Structure 1
Amino acid sequence: MSSAATSYQPVQVLESTRLLYDLLYTPAEYENHLERYSSGLIFRLGFGKTIKTGDEELVRRIMHVVHTVERVASPGAYLVDTFPILMCLPTWLAPFKQELGRLHKEELGLFRQLQDDVRQEMKDGKAPQCWERTFLENQAEYGLSPDEGAYVVGTLFEAGAGTTAAAMMSFLLAMVHHPAWQARLQHEIDVVVGQQSMPDFNHMPYLPTVRAVVKETLRWRPVTAGGVPHQLVKDDVYNGLFLPAGTNIHANQWAINRDPHLYPDPETFNPARWLEPQYPTYREPLTTYPTIQNFSAFGFGRRICPGMNIAERSLNLLVARVAWTFNISKARDERGREIAVPLYDYTSGFNVQPKPFAFDMKARSEDKARMVERAMREAETGDPLAGR
């Protein structure tokens, strides 16, 4: 909920500061840094643990689970997706059942371990407030078994750890290809925020271009391009087509986001469609809109993404802070020629992200670099979980 998401903002500020610091010194490792931000944020919120490098054993294990889920959840990943009758095969004749049984065992074992860690910390009086602790303290009220509770928190991590990072990688790709929009974005941030402090959540109502760039990135390169399947609970008719109860429906995000009546010239990255009145997607006031609340990128109905409010705050803050700190441009080879970057060279799967690409990311000034360094020192000094 929005009220709960607001309480997480200090953690997002801290983790975003760590991200800027990492990008400042090792920009070529941007994928790892973005995944560390996403996983670090959810690890804190979910389990009260700090991720410093992303190489910690628990992090490697849970990220392996995340990538496994993205692979096996992709439509058509297994033949049984096309021929459901294969579910009738006994396990010893069905390799997919054997593999998925093994993967489930690995996943549940990890989620149990994370829950047990918090349970022990509660006994020792050292458990910080986190989602796992909330579950354990209120388990009787929720009516869930320990394993069900472990899965609730664990799958929230799975959903949030990769998606924000993937969206930010598409943002970097957009900035490489559209320097004019980077300049417009930076101009707005410089006017509103200035040079002596970094963007914060208090600035967001006055940064409509930041929010427009975030929303356009999600439209231009949706993370879950094929949508999440929904199952009809009753018979329905759509455009004269009868759909019986039990039908699986995929909301094709790629197609929805390219409706030319709603999004003129849909293949073009154009945040102006959210900022200027001549576009059908424009809404006022610009202190509120554009917003990604209830945007199709997060799904629909009762099954809309429960982390939508957290994701919105993360993306707005990260885009503003990265644009405030860095200039992003195409890399150049040893002869000074720009290295071409494909407009679309993405991974395949349930969630997608651009494959690694070369680009330059440099601090806009020495003063900004020093401010990031100072903010990082202050964050580590004041972080109650710094030693965990």
Structure 2
Amino acid sequence: MDSHVFQAVAAAAAALLLFLTYHSLAFVAGKKLPKGTRLPPGPPGKPFVGNLFDIPPEHSWLKFKQWSDLYGPLFRLNIAGRENYVVSSEKIANDLLRERGNLYSSREQLPAAAELLGDNLRPLFLPYGSLWRRTRKLMHQLTMPSAATTYQPTQVLESTRLLDDLIRAPQDYQKWFARYSSSVIFRLGFGKTMQDEDVLRRIMDVNHSLERVASPGSYLVDTFPSLMHLPDALAPFKRELKQLHEAELGLFRELLDDVKKQMDQNVAPHCWERTFIEQQESYDLTTDQGAYVIGTLFEAGSGTTTAALQSFVLAMVHHPEWMSKIQQEVDEVVGTSRLPEFEDMPSLPTVRAVIKETMRWRPVTAGGLPHQLVKDDVYNGFFLPAGTNIHPNQWAIHREPSLYPDPEVFNPDRWLDPSFPTFKEPLTVHPNIQNYSCFGFGRRICPGQNIAERSLNILVARIAWACDISKAKDEHGNYVDVPLYDYVSGFNTHPKPFQFYLKARSPHHAIIVRSALEKETQSDPLAGK
């Protein structure tokens, strides 16, 4: 294209962008407020862009927490004409996102992640409507508690395999945690073991692309949707994201087609893909829509569990007294001749408390996923206009002093001691992470929480039984410093690699792990597949 033509088109696009931004800001500013209402407070913005440049590109939830301390638990941001309200209170989040779920369960259709990367197929970003409800129905059937219990043998096998590898090569902990989380969901979703390194790489590429593309501020088109009107020749982001979509759609289709072929040969194991294929008509979903449902469950289950496990190890490195406490509890309940099993979990409240406190202290989705309001609403005298994005800032919600005294302190006792406001009985059931705010709110709550809870419970109990964890020492015998908060960016966040020391608690423990793995592998119907 001639450079003069290119400059003219670019100038016209910029002018259109400013025009649309100005009028969107003017519309919001000029919209008449219902009598007796007001807009929430918030940081003052700048002309045209509002608070766009006030929000840090990484770990925005930390800044949101500072603003909530200054402006209150419901404050307002304007991002280039887009209304955004940030919620920093569990009560407000539940009042709006759960109790008024018919109004607050949609998603803003951000062009980069929803339209270009996902081609409006990924349930996570679907607007609230009939298609979303049909995808949710399938997700619920696959992951509801009565179904989740049937997945426990897979979690037992994969947790034993992880223990064996973790003891042999603790420096590769990120790889082992990722494989554990991915292998559990891969078996459930596709009826296969995670032995194909190429498939694992492709799946991880899809996960990483999603987290990068969906992170706030990654693509200018999300802030200025009018850029979608640019022709492809002037919009390299369109070409990039469409190529990523083709890659992920090709992977999801391939995994589904493999199950179809196995079904044709009468050798397909029971798995989520088979359930969808057999009942596709009743769900009223296209093949690609169903493939994305299973793919989304895999994305959610593998990435979040991996992140939570890494934060658990970080917590134990900084708080070895709690590692000792859960080891003592597991030893008293289980003994030394076998590994912990799911049947032991009602007798392990300290293990469950450490898990819940880890997810409070370092929430995986720290900034929360925004819900979009579909109709004007009023809450406690504040006016919330239709189209507003409601951000449940989990980092701040998990640090409400009234619920969590000394919130920056890692203290699982807040779930075990009756003197804390979060204590619940009986301890054979509580603490647990069912419907916990770390999984989201209302109708958009994570459907895989039942599976995630079981995966975390069994593995943390087994790590406590089999392993000692502590700070690493350098060549001079000094402890290696580990940052309390050095986390990657993205809407799912986890600690950057850090050093620690891990070993089997005794040769006997290592032998029990190896023997259990050999026994479980021999009885595994998918072994070798």
In the TM superposition, residue 89 of structure 1 has moved relative to its aligned partner by 2.5
- Percent of pairs identical after alignment? 67
1:5 paired residue among 144, 148, 163: 148
> What TM-score, normalized by structure 2, do the two folds share?
0.72
- Aligned partner of 1:231 in structure 2 is 372
- Aligned partner of 2:184 in structure 1 is 41
- Aligned partner of 2:527 in structure 1 is 386
1:18 paired residue among 154, 161, 170: 161
Distance in 2 separating the partners of 1:338 and 1:239: 51
- Aligned partner of 1:202 in structure 2 is 343
- Work out whether 1:186 is the aligned partner of 2:317: no
2:304 paired residue among 151, 155, 163: 163
In the TM superposition, residue 161 of structure 1 has moved relative to its aligned partner by 1.1
> What TM-score, normalized by structure 1, do the two folds share?
0.98
In the TM superposition, residue 319 of structure 1 has moved relative to its aligned partner by 0.8
Once the two structures are superposed, residues 62-116 of structure 1 have per-residue CA deviations (whole angstroms, 9 ceiling, x without a partner) of: 1110111111111111112222332332333222222211111111011000011
- Aligned partner of 1:292 in structure 2 is 433
- Aligned partner of 2:517 in structure 1 is 376
- Work out whether 1:116 is the aligned partner of 2:268: no
- Aligned partner of 1:27 in structure 2 is 170
Distance in 2 separating the partners of 1:96 and 1:259: 39
Letter in 2 for 1:73: A
Distance in 1 separating the partners of 2:219 and 2:456: 33
Structure 1 runs of 4+ aligned residues shifted over 3 Å read: none
User: What SS does the aligned partner of 2:402 have?
Assistant: coil
Letter in 2 for 1:31: Q
User: What SS does the aligned partner of 1:162 have?
Assistant: helix
Distance in 1 separating the partners of 2:381 and 2:213: 33
Distance in 1 separating the partners of 2:446 and 2:324: 32
Alignment of 1:226-375 (within 5 A): 226-375=367-516
Distance in 2 separating the partners of 1:126 and 1:249: 47
Distance in 2 separating the partners of 1:49 and 1:100: 29
- Aligned partner of 1:76 in structure 2 is 217
In the TM superposition, residue 239 of structure 1 has moved relative to its aligned partner by 4.1
Distance in 2 separating the partners of 1:239 and 1:369: 58
In the TM superposition, residue 231 of structure 1 has moved relative to its aligned partner by 1.2
- Work out whether 1:86 is the aligned partner of 2:231: no
In the TM superposition, residue 235 of structure 1 has moved relative to its aligned partner by 1.8
Once the two structures are superposed, residues 132-171 of structure 1 have per-residue CA deviations (whole angstroms, 9 ceiling, x without a partner) of: 0111111111111111111111111111111101000000
Once the two structures are superposed, residues 315-374 of structure 1 have per-residue CA deviations (whole angstroms, 9 ceiling, x without a partner) of: 111110001110000011111111110101110001000000000001111111000000
Larger Rg: 2
Distance in 2 separating the partners of 1:87 and 1:248: 20
User: What SS does the aligned partner of 1:249 have?
Assistant: strand
Alignment of 1:94-105 (within 5 A): 94-105=235-246
Distance in 1 separating the partners of 2:421 and 2:383: 31
User: What SS does the aligned partner of 1:8 have?
Assistant: helix
Distance in 1 separating the partners of 2:522 and 2:276: 30
1:219 paired residue among 347, 354, 360: 360
Count matched residues.
386
